[in-house]
Amino acid sequence: MDFRLPAETLRWRDELRAFLRAELPPGFQGSDDYFDNEEQMAFARQLYRKLGERRWLAPAWPEQYGGMGKSMLEQLVLNEELAWHRAPSGGRLFTIGITGPTLLVHADAEQKERFLPRMASGEDWYCQGFSEPGSGSDLASMETRAVRDGDDYVVNGQKIWTSNGHVADRMILLARTATDVPKHKGVSAFIVDMKTPGISVQGIPNMAYRRDFNQVFFEDVRVPARNLVGGENNGWYVATTTLDFERSNIAAISGARRTVHDLVAWAKERHGGVRPWDSARVRTELAELHLECEVGRLLAYRTAWLQSRGAVPNYEASIGKVWFAQLGIKVTNAGVNLLGLQGQLQPGAPGAPYDGRVLQSYLLAVSGPIGGGTAEVQRNIIAQRGLGLPRG
């Protein structure tokens, strides 16, 4: 593949960077306080609506759905720049990075016209209703049921680890629609309005001082049959497409690159009369992390290049997922240790370097090898679909 971006894409990247410098407050360190902070929520919503007005939020989507008609390379550039500038993540990953591309593959024409423009404009944020208390890696063992009743499906059950569930407008939901077939063949996918009667959301605080995880309960929730995506009992194929897009996101690697960049700058300053950069061990560790970030960046670019050619990367996305997850832990662990006792200060605490962001990222990184499919699952995909090895 050619790792060089086209001249037109480079010009657009410069425009995007100028926009972000103008829209983000001076000295902006990045914040996802919109989980609990209404002011930050309004800021995040406004930022993404402004991107939507320029058709920049989903540049790879067709123009008729609010995009620019470009390729996944432009989408990669957008995600990379937003993460580098620490723009609030908002609902971008689950909306533009996951659900939208999945609908482009599996939704019918009417559904695309109904859902995609509101996503590309920044009006609707999505969350993902996949995992359940008893079905994580074995996703096909889900028990949430959707039973046809006239023009609706009636949904009962529970989902867990639903990131952004309390701020999302809609959800892409997996539910069981048949019980007399192999479990992978009895699943269906739906788009659900989160304001539908019978839906309740309960937060799950995490150790990173954020409330982005949720449990979502469904009690006789009526979902219009026209919101069924990909056909009844075909949801497993919809889900695998969704997960492939989730695992190929570059935002994580761009965030890691920015953290390494900041740690280098911090190490070159004097702290208590000592300049960490003078230590060969510190220089070597940061240099190795920089190289690993570049490897991850190239993996992400390859995945986007395959997507730009109409392919749906599978084992390639899993390679990236394993690499990004482990790298996130290594970068943030190195950061917390380099910053010393100050590195243990919580976000918002006086004297916390980078407003405690490195510590918060360190605590969040622990879930990296689990979320979006465990590292063990990813390695099985790489072995079977990438290397052609038999099932164990």
Catalytic site residue from 74, 80, 132, 246: 246
| CA of residue 129 relative to chain centroid, distance | 14
* DSSP three-state, residue 155: strand
* DSSP three-state, residue 337: helix
Angle at 323 between CA 320 and CA 328, to 5 degrees: 120
Pure H helices in 268-314: 280-308
Token pair for 77: 């550039």
Report the distance separating Cα 85 and Cα 68, nearest Å: 22
What are the b/e assignments for 328-350, b being 16+ CB within 10 Å? bbbbbebbbebbeebbebebeee
Whether the CB-CB separation of 321 and 247 falls below 8 Å is answered with yes
Whether the CB-CB separation of 361 and 255 falls below 8 Å is answered with yes
Report the distance separating Cα 31 and Cα 86, nearest Å: 7
Is 246 noted as a catalytic residue in this protein?
A: yes
Whether the CB-CB separation of 314 and 283 falls below 8 Å is answered with no
Whether the CB-CB separation of 256 and 331 falls below 8 Å is answered with yes
Catalytic center residues: 246
